[in-house]
Amino acid sequence: MRPFVSLSLCLILAACGGDQDQRTTPDETGDLEVTAGSGRTATMPPGLDDSRWRWVEAHCTEGPLDLLARGYAAHVRVHQRGENQLLLVHDQQFATESCEHTVVQQATLPEGGGESWLMEEVVRVAVPSTDACYGRPEENRPGDVRMTDGRLEVLVQRSQWCNGLEVRMVYERAAQELLAEDEIVRRYVAHFMRGDADAVAELFAQSGALLEPFTRTETGDPYRHEGRNRVQRWFEESFTTAPWRAMKIAEIEEGEASGGATQRVVTWEYMDPRLTEPMTGRSRFTIAAGEIFELQIELTSEPSLREPAEGEAAEGEEEATET
């Protein structure tokens, strides 16, 4: 499936938090340089790996940030990557605006010690994929990830949430829960655009299957990859064929429910450097107990491949895209 919710090379649009013309954004010269200040050294909080948190409040430098008027609610799952990096996967809802996001944020400790983490928004998936819902991604900024009185605090300097001032998001620990169907779809898209085959495969049940149209059987049917390991291997190989992938969800529909499983039918647009224009398709997710049991990918347009540059090896159409 390929919702092309613009990469995180995203060039888009309206800000998430407040009117941009209310304040002048501070000078950002040297913003990402870690310099001496309070003398505090950023450290990795213990016990965050594979934890889940519920948003409870937000603050800007000048005071509380009211998001309840927008019907805001959010959960974040935290995954530790080595000794110095966290991956924060945010599922956000703006009920008043009928808008939902999955945002993947990477937080990296400074090399050699320092006060500030580097906070990077890696990818953003919005449903619906309108400019108003998508908003404008955060630039890379200094920030902090810390525990205060048992609560998780995520700080980003010069944030769009606060019109150029620091934002502090506060979360309380939450019980682990199964992912909802639409969360699974958005995470699939987010991890697909990141090129993270392991994270994509983790969304599948151990016995889950992928049916894809890029490898054909002798009878011309879509090829079926059975089991999470084979699904992971296919995505891992697929992600080597393009340096980036952009996906946009055009629509998510509820399919027929059967035997305790639910279905989501997702129409999408997809783009990568090998194509001259976006291609379109449809993906059918069969989901049960918070996992994908079957994903069937269908193309609804033929890929239009650009002419390879001199010295480049031409690639077969079957490699033109992966979903």
Measure CA 133 to chain center: 15
Q: What is the rounded average pLDDT of the residues 223-243?
A: 97
pTM score: 0.84
Closest CA to 190 of 77, 286, 45: 77
277: nearest Cα among 297, 299, 303, 251: 303
Smallest CA-to-CA distance from 321 within 225, 257, 245 is with: 245
Instruction: Please check the confidence at residue 130 and state whether its pLDDT lies above 90.
Output: yes
Tokens of 105: 């944020």
In the CATH hierarchy, which top-level class contains the domain 181-319?
alpha beta
- Paired tokens of 89: 């996967």
> What residues form DSSP beta bridges with 134?
none
- All structural domains of the chain with their residue ranges: 20-173, 181-319
Question: What does the alpha-carbon distance between residue 203 and residue 201 come to, in Å, rounded to a whole number?
Answer: 5
Which comes out higher in pLDDT, residue 135 or 15?
135
If pLDDT is split at 50, 70 and 90, which confidence band does 232 have? very high
Which two structure tokens, joined as six digits, stand for 95?
Answer: 């009920």
- Which residue(s) pair with 251 in the sheet? 267
- Report residue 120's pLDDT band, with 50, 70 and 90 as the boundaries: very high
Average pLDDT, the chain: 88
CA angle 197, 183, 82 (to 5 degrees): 45
**Inter-residue contact 297 to 323 (CB < 8 Å):** yes
Check: CB of residue 107 under 8 Å from CB of residue 145: yes
CA–CA gap between residue 317 and residue 167 (Å, rounded): 46
Q: What is the pLDDT of residue 21?
A: 39
Token pair listed for 230 = 């084979």
Task: For residues 168 and 155, give the distance between their C-alpha atoms in angstroms, rounded to a whole number.
Answer: 4
DSSP 107-149: EEPPTT--S-EEEEEEEEEEES--HHHH--PPPPEEEEEEEET
Residue 260 CA to its chain's centroid (Å): 28
pLDDT in tens, 261-282: 999 999 999 999 999 999 999 9
Residue type, 235: F
Q: Is the pLDDT of residue 10 over 80?
A: no
216 confidence band (pLDDT: 50, 70, 90)? confident
**Nearest 5°: CA angle at 85, between 189 and 67?**
60
Return d(Cα 101, Cα 182) in angstroms, integer.
10
Domain 20-173 has CATH 2.40.50.100: no
Task: Report the b/e string of 43-81 with b at 16+ CB within 10 A.
Answer: ebeeebeebebebeebbbeeeebebeeeebebbbbbebe
The residue behind tokens 């949430």 is 161
Distance CA 103, CA 98 (A): 16
